[in-house]
Amino acid sequence: MSYTVPHNSFKKYFYDLFNAVKTTVVGMWITFRYVWGVKSVSIEYPEVREVLPERARMRLFNDAQNCISCTQCAMACPVDCIYISSEKLPEGAEIKKTSNGQSIRLHLTQFTIDTALCCYCGLCTTVCPTECLTHSHDYEFAQYTIDAMKYDYLAPDVKAWRDRIVKA
């Protein structure tokens, strides 16, 4: 814009007209160039899915076989959405080992996460000593009732959807 704005109101009228037409044409030309040659960036969601990054924080998953009931995740959680309870192993019971070698000295009786409360901050996964609590890549878990958002990780059917959502 190297023109000097005329002060004469008659000249200014035509200058404004010229300026309006010129800047509009420049803008329309920028938009018009998107007709060809520009690759579409939108994804047709249900058919095409974006591959999530490895660190993506979606629904939590607890591998209950590796859990040592230390309750560190529940303490780190800022919104208190992890319900965990355990009891002492009976006398003489066999002490199992987790996959990274820690012994399981408590019997896990409840491990439920209220996904409706969860804020996906990832603080619980960073404190887990056995790395059994992880963020999965499952983001399609809408439910009809809010109670259905509570996921019990000791339920018998947990293995069925475990393979679907847990990261390889």
The one-letter amino acid at 49: R
Among 44, 54, 91, 147, binds other proteins (CB under 8 A): 54
Among 93, 123, 146, 148, binds other proteins (CB under 8 A): 123
The one-letter amino acid at 153: Y
Which H or E run includes 97? Answer: strand 96-97
72 in Cβ contact with 125 (< 8 Å): no
Contact positions with other proteins (CB under 8 A) in 11-50? 16, 19-20, 23-24, 26-27, 30-31, 34, 41
Q: Sign of the C-alpha dihedral, residues 135, 140, 141, 146?
A: positive
Closest distance of CB 136 from other proteins, Å: 12
Give the binding site for other proteins (CB under 8 A): 1, 16, 19-20, 23-24, 26-27, 30-31, 34, 41, 52-57, 76-78, 119-123, 126, 135
